[in-house]
């Protein structure tokens, strides 16, 4: 039901209309906001792409929508995707200590992603950077795959710990 | 006992008769209360809001899931995952929570995880009496053994335990105290030692106090598994009071020097790794290179070289470092080919392990060392991680030197773009108890570099570069620890006099 609610509000957002449900809590009030989505630039660093999104004021709901937007890919066709194209955001949890749990899924991440260290690192940090740059209450990101703890996304980067933002992989 | 049996049956019958089919009894130290349950595919799920309210907390919807709050602790859970999350930790449940009529229901293990991690309480479920019991944790008694030995100038105190237990270490002026969270069975009340640094060990309650002979003695503390042991390496501190114990590289080994090297060809089996535009697979490129590298190292350095795989088989990541640890390897090199989505990415780079926020780690360690006795479960859980990290930290400085040598030699020999030495939390480097690095030879996703990686001449350049890097690091390390003499002013191509073991 919660999922249905989120899908409903996502659908409402896409059409740029006010939310349909009269039962929305005040903290779920939707407003347009400019967010930064991080993709890899030609110099192999993460660079922000600005996008205007209708987002609930409640960060727990907004986080989910921002990450769904990130995995859709860049608006510029020349900027490649970092995560596999079929990646889905299954859920996002924001905890009071500032840790955000991001639950990823999709066929490629489930069956085994054939990739190299650099791409995997950039994919992980594109999520970390997008989360922490847009939500001041988010300080660290921990990732799950299909709701479970996973060793890595593609055989390299350990997901056993939460990730703090890494300025060295971000373009200045 | 027989006299009371009818009473017990009556009491049980009363509980059962009072419970509706969709109810269970939540029993806490403050009394009994009914909570709503439901059954899905034969499993019992508890109305999370009911149970949390009975405990004095609450459950509210949050994003795609729910949040449960109790005594300023918050756990998130949802119908998408059988893991709840609390702080940085996961609460494992046997099945995913269900939502019935907008109300979240969870397996009882959710409460066990929540209360166990935040309130040191045990939660158990009796399906026959339908009683969910929450009570203060009943810790089993853990046996302790103690040994003190001075090895190569370091006093090694090994505290052996019959089961893993949480603990905190507190440093005083002239003593270290280990507070065990679990009740312990001490081997003796007190014992004196004829040791350079440790004068006496005293057990009192759940504490082990180690008295020191001088104030300028500090310990590197870490834990080992199978069997569970806490190890404190006592040594003199040279610097002032701000020195953080635990960050001093010290690794007493049976025979000092680099004698065993583990080479890890990245990926294998169904884990193919990155794939080049012409179809070259990372797993094949690394295996070809590493086999020849192993031969070259053995011939040139006369060291023992072990490959983590010699064919196209799948070796789990943690098994690769476990192999290195089992062989007591002195050096670990994982060989990979890189991938990037940006066309034209090229060059080599070398990684060693990053401990997330190592500054924060050092700060926390200092806080622990200086703290008054605090044994809250959250802190001891953190401490376990910190101590493990400190054990790894010992090897980071050496790993950094090794990675530097690898990258420099790669640049010198291959003339590919130098992408430098970097740190990353690579799984294959986690848990290595020796200096360890991961080299990305080139970008397999770049057509030019993919061709080079298949070219025998280029492969030879890489193998020579990596061999020289290992030799350089070995000479440098063995010189620093005094196994071999520093080279004379006119450098000679000295070979190691000690035969490989």
Tell me the three-class secondary structure of chain A, residue by residue: CHHHHHHHHHHHHHCCCCCCCCCCCHHHCEEEEEEEEEEECCCCCEEEEEEEEEEECCHHHHHHHHHHHHHHCCCCCCCCCCCCCCCEEEEEEECCCCEEEEEEECHHHHHCCCCCHHHHHHHHHHHHHHHHHHCCCCCEEEEEECCEECCCCCCCECCCCCECCCHHHECC
Express each pLDDT in B106-133 by its tens digit: 999 999 999 988 888 889 999 999 999 9
| Secondary structure (DSSP) of B94-163 | SS--EEETTEEEE-THHHHHHHHHHS-EEEEEETTTTEEEEEE--PPPEEEEEEEEEETTEEEEEEEESS
Q: What is the pLDDT of residue B327?
A: 86
Cβ atoms within 10 A of the Cβ of B118, count? 19
Q: Does B336 contact A117 at a Cβ distance shorter than 8 Å?
A: yes
Contact predicate B286/B463, CB 8 Å:
no
CA Rg value for chain B:
28
Q: Does B85 contact A117 at a Cβ distance shorter than 8 Å?
A: no
Mutating which of B48, B49, B70, B80 best tests the A interface, going by the most A Cβ atoms within 10 A?
B80
Q: Which residues of chain B have a CB within 8 Å of the CB of A94?
A: 62-63, 76
B177: distance to nearest CA of chain A, Å? 29
pLDDT over 60 (residue B366)? no
Average pLDDT over chain B, rounded to whole? 82
Residues 6+ positions from A127 with CB-CB distance below 8 Å: A67, A70, A83, A102, A141, A143
Q: What is the pLDDT of residue A89?
A: 94
Sheet with strand B89-92: strands edge to edge: B58-62, B65-70, B73-77, B83-86, B89-92
Q: Does A156 contact B428 at a Cβ distance shorter than 8 Å?
A: yes
The H-or-E segment that residue B58 falls in is strand B58-62
Q: Does B338 contact A116 at a Cβ distance shorter than 8 Å?
A: yes
Average pLDDT over chain A, rounded to whole? 85
Nearest to B332 by CA among B285, B389, B382, B392: B392
Q: What is the pLDDT of residue B356?
A: 58
Q: Which residues of chain B have a CB within 8 Å of the CB of A147?
A: 80-83, 96
On whether any CB of chain A is under 8 Å from the CB of B117, the answer is: no
Mean pLDDT computed over B343-347: 91
Structure tokens given for B178: 């280990």
Q: Which residues of chain A have a CB within 8 Å of the CB of B425?
A: 157-158, 161, 163
Nearest to B273 among A64, A99, A116 (CB): A116
Residue carrying the six token digits 């890890």: B264
- The 8-class DSSP code of residue B339 comes to -
Q: By CA distance, what is B419's nearest residue in A?
A: A44
- The 8-class DSSP code of residue B355 comes to P
CA dist., res. B402 & res. B325, Å (int): 18
A81: distance to nearest CA of chain B, Å? 7
Q: What is the pLDDT of residue B389?
A: 56
Residue carrying the six token digits 């939660």: B123
Nearest to B63 among A41, A92, A151 (CB): A92
Q: What is the pLDDT of residue B395?
A: 80
Nearest to A95 among B85, B427, B428 (CB): B85
More confident site: A118 or A94: A118
A95: distance to nearest CA of chain B, Å? 7
Q: Does B341 contact A119 at a Cβ distance shorter than 8 Å?
A: yes
3-state secondary structure of B311: coil
Q: Does B64 contact A3 at a Cβ distance shorter than 8 Å?
A: yes
Nearest to B342 among A44, A92, A164 (CB): A44
First to last CA, chain A: 42
CA dist., res. B394 & res. B250, Å (int): 7
More confident site: B166 or A47: A47
pLDDT over 60 (residue A4)? no
List Cα–Cα distances, B362 to B132, B237, B365, B426, in angstroms. Answer: 42, 16, 5, 21
B286: distance to nearest CA of chain A, Å? 12
pLDDT over 90 (residue A130)? yes
Nearest to A155 among B74, B271, B344 (CB): B271
pTM greater than 0.80: no
CA dist., res. B324 & res. B264, Å (int): 9
pLDDT over 90 (residue B310)? yes
Mean pLDDT computed over B364-383: 40
Q: Does A118 contact B428 at a Cβ distance shorter than 8 Å?
A: no
């Amino acid at each position: 039901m919660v999922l249905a609610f989120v899908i409903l509000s996502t659908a409402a957002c896409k059409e740029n209309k006010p939310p349909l449900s009269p039962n929305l809590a005040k903290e779920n009030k939707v407003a347009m906001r400019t967010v930064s989505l991080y993709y890899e630039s030609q110099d192999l660093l993460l660079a922000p792409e600005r996008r205007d999104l209708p987002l609930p004021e409640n960060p727990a709901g907004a986080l989910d929508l921002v990450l769904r937007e990130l995995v859709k890919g860049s608006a510029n066709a020349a900027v490649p995707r970092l995560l596999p194209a079929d990646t889905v955001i299954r859920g996002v949890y924001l905890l009071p200590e500032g840790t955000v749990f991001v639950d990823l899924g999709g066929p490629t991440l489930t069956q085994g992603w054939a990739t190299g260290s650099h791409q995997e690192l950039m994919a992980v940090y594109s999520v970390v950077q997008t989360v922490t740059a847009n939500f001041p209450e988010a300080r660290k990101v921990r990732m799950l795959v299909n709701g479970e703890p996973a060793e890595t996304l593609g055989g390299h980067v350990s997901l056993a710990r939460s990730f703090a933002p890494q300025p060295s992989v971000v373009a200045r | 006992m027989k006299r009371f049996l009818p009473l017990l049956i009556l009491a049980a019958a009363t509980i059962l008769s009072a419970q509706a089919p969709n109810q269970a009894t939540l029993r806490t130290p403050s009394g009994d209360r009914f909570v709503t349950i439901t059954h899905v595919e034969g499993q019992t799920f508890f109305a999370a809001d009911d149970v949390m309210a009975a405990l004095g907390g609450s459950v509210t919807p949050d994003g795609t899931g729910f949040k449960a709050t109790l005594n300023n602790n918050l756990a998130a859970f949802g119908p998408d995952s059988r893991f709840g999350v609390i702080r940085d930790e996961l609460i494992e449940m046997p099945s995913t929570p269900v939502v019935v009529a907008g109300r979240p229901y969870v397996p009882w293990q959710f409460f066990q995880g929540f209360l166990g991690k935040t309130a040191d309480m045990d939660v158990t479920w009796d399906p026959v009496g339908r009683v969910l019991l929450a009570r203060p944790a009943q810790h089993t008694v853990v046996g302790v053994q103690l040994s003190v030995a001075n090895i190569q100038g370091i006093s090694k105190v090994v505290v052996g335990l019959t089961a893993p237990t949480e603990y905190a270490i507190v440093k005083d002026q002239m003593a270290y105290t280990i507070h065990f969270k679990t009740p312990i069975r001490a081997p003796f009340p007190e014992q004196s030692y004829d040791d350079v640094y440790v004068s006496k060990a005293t057990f009192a309650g759940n504490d082990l106090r180690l008295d020191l002979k001088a104030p300028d003695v500090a310990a590197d503390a870490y834990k080992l598994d199978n069997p569970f042991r806490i190890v404190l390496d006592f040594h003199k501190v040279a610097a002032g009071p701000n020195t953080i114990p635990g960050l001093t590289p010290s690794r007493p080994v049976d025979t000092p020097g680099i004698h065993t090297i583990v080479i890890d060809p990245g990926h294998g089996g169904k884990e193919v790794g990155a794939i080049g535009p012409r179809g070259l697979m990372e797993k094949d490129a690394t295996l070809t290179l590493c086999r020849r590298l192993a031969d070259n190292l053995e011939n040139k350095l006369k060291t023992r070289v072990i490959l983590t795989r010699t064919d196209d088989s799948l070796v789990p990541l943690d098994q690769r470092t476990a192999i290195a640890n089992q062989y007591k390897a002195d050096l670990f090199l994982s060989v990979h080919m890189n991938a990037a989505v940006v066309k034209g990415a090229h060059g080599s780079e070398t990684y060693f392990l990053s401990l997330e926020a190592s500054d924060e780690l050092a700060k926390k360690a200092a806080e622990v060392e200086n703290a008054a006795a605090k044994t809250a479960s959250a802190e001891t859980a953190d401490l376990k991680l910190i101590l493990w990290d400190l054990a790894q930290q010992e090897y980071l400085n050496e790993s950094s030197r090794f990675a530097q040598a690898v990258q420099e030699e790669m640049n010198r020999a291959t003339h590919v773009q130098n992408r430098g030495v970097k740190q990353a939390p690579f799984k294959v480097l986690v848990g290595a108890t020796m200096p360890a690095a991961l080299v990305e030879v080139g970008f397999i996703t770049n057509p030019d570099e993919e061709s080079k990686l298949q070219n025998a001449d280029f492969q030879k350049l890489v193998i020579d570069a990596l061999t020289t890097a290992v030799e350089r690091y070995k000479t440098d390390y063995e010189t620093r620890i005094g196994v071999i003499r520093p080279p004379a002013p006119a450098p000679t191509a000295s070979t190691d006099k000690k035969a490989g073991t």
